[in-house]
Amino acid sequence: MRCLAVSAKIPWVIKYRPKTLSDYVDQEDAKNTIINWLKRFPSVDKKAVLLHGPPGVGKTTLVECLAHDLRYDLIEMNASDFRRSKDINRVAIKSADKISLAGRGKLILLDEVDGIYEKVDAGSVEAILELIKNTKFPVIMTANDPWSNQLRELRENVLMIELKRLGKKEILEILRKICSSEKIHCSDDALNYIYELSNGDLRSAINDLQSVAEGFGRVDLDLAKAILRRRDRELDPFETLRNIFGARYAWQAKITISQSNLDRDMLIQWLNENLPRQIQDPEDLWRAYDALAKATVYLSRIIRTGDWDLLSYAIDLMGPGVSFSIKNIEKDKWRWVKYNFPEKIRELSRTREQRELINSIASIIAAREHISRNKARTEVLPYLRIIFQNNPDEAAKIVLGLGLSDNMVKLLAPEKSGEILKRVKEYQKLIREEASREGEKKEKRKTVEKKTVEKREEKKTQATGLDKWWKK
Ligand SMILES: Nc1ncnc2c1ncn2[C@@H]1O[C@H](COP(=O)(O)OP(=O)(O)O)[C@@H](O)[C@H]1O
Ligand SMILES: [Mg+2]
């Protein structure tokens, strides 16, 4: 277990990322083709390689291992860096001065070139082509999907090399190695299950293995099924945060948001709560909060104006905006932290009943005073609270006048509610007594009236003299 706690600090895809070709399993064809091409460089047909294959098969890792073993300085750029053609030109210029200080050659890596979107990145494909034409150093590009239209010209100018999905044997071998380094017991059927889910994507297989192992210290089939079935659907809040913070590329942070089971507002709350846990450097933290605040502004504008075009800005800010805020202490991106449920949400759900009560009081006042509920809440309620806390007698009259419930009284004056409700009872008693006195009076008045009517009738008959006649 001790071992687990230590290893859990860093994602295993990073911890167990091969550094040298001897650790890099399989992919012999691709490896050899690239090594031959590098050795012949610059006497080669094409001065660039496009290494393609599905996500997680080891494209980036292979280039890094090659650079390490063949002693190149790796100049690495990713899609968000080469958005603008001038950045590519900058690399081209940099690569033009022949050797680096250590006397080593350079290898230029343009990672994830299929992250270039035609509309946004007009000019960047041309700039890459220009770089390939003029480069003195080998250029290797990677892409998940090299067959898109905008890469057509690029394809014609590079040596295409495919990385195949790793086979079952290789993936299981890598997973077992990790388990034994972590001193974790892993059953064969659980590893098979993880392999089946991964569909040859080693990155997701290693991530899945870590998710199961980390919580329980062992990997068996039942656990793997219980944990990973959920993961198949969507990302829970913890995975969402981890993926946003750890994103290497903007698109990874954006995809995370779309796969998360948190809606945008909840995600803002989760980030708000956990930024200071993940980010230690004050300047990084400031940048992250700044991005988050701007995302909130866009989200509220969307609600106000219904302008959904703004959503992409909000997502850019809360996803990549947050993850790329971490600059000064880069390892913070992957630091393992325990995330917290947002206090605000916890508080809101705890106080939901209270808020509903406040709304009901505001509605009563609003109807009575012909003002808006909002005005009742912000302008009348505070005075009501003061009266309730200081003048139980007056409060009792208001309670009766507005017909407030006991719970409403408790909310308005938690400490004085007992006293107020006692007064209310007294007043109610008085009112009842008053009412019954009134009733009695009414009864009396009725009998008196009855008698007067009878007398009047009597007088009338007397007046006509008939009574005398009758008596006779
Ligand atoms: N051939 C391999 N041998 C050992 N580990 C590998 C291999 N290929 C990939 N990996 C592991 O899978 C992870 C993902 O590889 P990565 O190079 O980032 O994939 P890609 O760039 O194709 O998306 C790496 O962190 C590494 O741990
Ligand atoms: Mg990669």
Compute the half-sphere exposure of residue 243: CA atoms within 13 Å on the CB side of its CA: 25
Q: Assess whether the C-beta atom of 249 lies below 6 angstroms from ligand 1.
A: no
Q: What is the DSSP string of 348-377?
A: HHHTHHHHHHHHHHHHHHHHHHT--HHHII
pLDDT of amino acid 96: 58
> Could you give the 3-state DSSP secondary structure of residue 271?
helix
Q: Which ligand is nearest to the CA of 62?
A: 1
The predicted model gives 165-192 an average pLDDT of 91
Tell me: pLDDT of 457 over 90. no
> Could you give the 3-state DSSP secondary structure of residue 80?
coil
Backbone angles phi, psi at 111, to 5 degrees: -85, 140
pLDDT of amino acid 461: 62
pLDDT of amino acid 454: 81
- Looking at 279-288, 348-357, 365-374, 419-428, which range is the least confident one? 348-357
- List pLDDT tens digits, range 108-127: 898 888 776 555 556 777 87
Distance between CA atoms of residues 76 and 108, nearest Å: 6
Instruction: Give the number of the atom of ligand 1 that is nearest the alpha carbon of residue 166.
Output: 1
- List pLDDT tens digits, range 8-38: 346 788 888 899 999 898 888 999 999 999 9
- Nearest Cα residue to atom 13 of ligand 1: 203
The predicted model gives 407-424 an average pLDDT of 92
Q: Assess whether the C-beta atom of 60 lies below 6 angstroms from ligand 1.
A: yes
What is the distance in A from the centroid of ligand 2 to the CA of 58?
7
Give the tokens for residue 143: 């892409």
Q: Assess whether the C-beta atom of 109 lies below 6 angstroms from ligand 1.
A: no
Instruction: Give the number of the atom of ligand 1 that is nearest the alpha carbon of residue 142.
Output: 21
pLDDT of amino acid 263: 83
Per CATH, the homologous superfamily of domain 27-162 is: P-loop containing nucleotide triphosphate hydrolases (3.40.50.300)
In sequence order, which residues have a C-beta less than 8 Å from that of residue 262 and are 6 or more positions away?
237, 240, 270
Q: Assess whether the C-beta atom of 55 lies below 6 angstroms from ligand 1.
A: yes
Cis peptide leading into 18, omega within 30 of 0? no
- Nearest Cα residue to atom 1 of ligand 1: 25
Long-range CB contact pairs, 144-147, < 8 A, 24+: 144/52, 144/53, 144/54, 144/55, 144/112, 144/114, 145/52, 145/114, 146/50, 146/52, 146/113, 146/114
For the ranges 76-80, 266-270, 285-289, the maximum mean pLDDT occurs at 285-289
Tell me: pLDDT of 380 over 90. yes
> Could you give the 3-state DSSP secondary structure of residue 110?
strand
Select the more confidently predicted residue: 240 or 2.
240
Tell me: pLDDT of 3 over 50. no
Q: Assess whether the C-beta atom of 124 lies below 6 angstroms from ligand 1.
A: no
pLDDT of amino acid 7: 37
- List pLDDT tens digits, range 299-342: 999 888 877 778 889 999 999 999 999 999 988 998 888 888 88
> Could you give the 3-state DSSP secondary structure of residue 302?
helix
Domain boundaries, the chain: 27-162, 167-233, 237-347
Backbone angles phi, psi at 106, to 5 degrees: -120, 150
pLDDT of amino acid 239: 87
Distance between CA atoms of residues 139 and 66, nearest Å: 13
Topology (CATH level 3) of domain 167-233: Helicase, Ruva Protein; domain 3 (1.10.8)
Instruction: Give the number of the atom of ligand 1 that is nearest the alpha carbon of residue 24.
Output: 3
- List pLDDT tens digits, range 200-234: 888 889 988 987 887 677 888 888 887 776 555 56
The band of 99, judged by pLDDT with boundaries at 50, 70 and 90, is low
Beta bridge partners of 106: 73
Q: 115 with 79: CB under 8 angstroms? A: yes
Q: Assess whether the C-beta atom of 79 lies below 6 angstroms from ligand 1.
A: no
Q: Assess whether the C-beta atom of 24 lies below 6 angstroms from ligand 1.
A: yes
**Candidate from 25, 60, 61, 178 with most ligand 1 atoms within 8 A of CB, to mutate:** 61
Instruction: Give the number of the atom of ligand 1 that is nearest the alpha carbon of residue 26.
Output: 1
What are the E-state strand segments in 240-301? none
Distance between CA atoms of residues 164 and 161, nearest Å: 10
Tell me: pLDDT of 285 over 60. yes
Q: Assess whether the C-beta atom of 257 lies below 6 angstroms from ligand 1.
A: no
Tell me: pLDDT of 464 over 80. no
